[in-house]
A and B are shown apart, each in its own frame.
Chain A
Amino acid sequence: MAMDASEIERMIKEALPDAQVQIDDLRGDGDHYAATVTSSAFAGLSRVKQHQLVYAALKGRMGGQLHALALTTQTP
């Protein structure tokens, strides 16, 4: 039940092509990550909507295969 950081980044960029993604493996266990995602797609959206875009990019893995992803979203 773990995911590679590179896989997380790949999935986010697939859905949000202009995104800059910074991922930290918080515990080195491949299961607790912090991600900062910067994308113009977030402009004008509430935080909830911004995070929902990222969760949608992860196609259901969030909350399942990926236990913990502390998320910060911002516009460029």
Chain B
Amino acid sequence: MTDATVTDRIKQEVSDNDIVLFMKGTPVFPQCGFSAVVVQVLSHLDVKFKGIDVLADPSIRQGIKEFSDWPTIPQLYVKGEFVGGCDIVREMYQSGELQDLLKQQGIAYKDA
């Protein structure tokens, strides 16, 4: 079980920041290949995002899995909505759906 303060912190992060990536490691030094893929996609689109390193905080690592009902890291949130993990983000980027989502949400990005 995750206590309320952890859930509140997660809610706060995803409402305070347009794009939040719960990941292993940091955007500069991802500690897992799946997290690195999502960082690459976001960097390629040149969008600002907040990376939260779940390895630095076990309560967040467990809490985000319960919060999203999703068993793995990374997890991408856009405007407070859970978008998906590595496979979904990659698929959505390749099909252009991720770009459409950013556009709909009024988030500036570059698509080279």
Binding site for B on A (CB under 8 A): 47-48, 51-52, 55, 60, 62-64, 68, 70-72
Which residues of chain A are within 8 angstroms of B65 by Cβ–Cβ distance? 63
User: In the complex the two chains form, is A52's CB within 8 Å of B87's CB?
Assistant: no
B74-112 interface code vs A (CB 8 A; 1 in, 0 out): 000000001111111001100000000000000000000
User: In the complex the two chains form, is A55's CB within 8 Å of B84's CB?
Assistant: no
User: In the complex the two chains form, is A48's CB within 8 Å of B82's CB?
Assistant: yes
Contact of A48 among B34, B72, B84, B86 (CB under 8 A): B84
Which residues of chain B are within 8 angstroms of A64 by Cβ–Cβ distance? 71
Name 12 interchain pairs, CB-CB below 8 A, sorted by A.
A47-B84, A48-B82, A48-B83, A48-B84, A51-B88, A52-B69, A52-B70, A60-B71, A63-B65, A63-B72, A64-B71, A70-B86
User: In the complex the two chains form, is A68's CB within 8 Å of B88's CB?
Assistant: no
B57-72 interface code vs A (CB 8 A; 1 in, 0 out): 0000000010001111
Beyond A47-B91, A48-B82, A71-B87, 14 additional pairs, beta carbon < 8 A: A47-B88, A48-B70, A48-B83, A51-B70, A51-B84, A51-B85, A51-B88, A52-B69, A55-B71, A62-B71, A63-B71, A63-B72, A70-B87, A72-B87
Number of A-B contacts (CB under 8 A): 31
Complex CA–CA separation, A75 to B72 (angstroms): 23
Dominant SS among interface residues on chain A: mixed
Which residues of chain A are within 8 angstroms of B69 by Cβ–Cβ distance? 52
Name the CB-closest residue of B to A72. B87
Which residues of chain B are within 8 angstroms of A70 by Cβ–Cβ distance? 86-87
Which residues of chain A are within 8 angstroms of B84 by Cβ–Cβ distance? 47-48, 51
Complex CA–CA separation, A15 to B72 (angstroms): 20
Complex CA–CA separation, A62 to B85 (angstroms): 13
Name the CB-closest residue of A to B33. A68
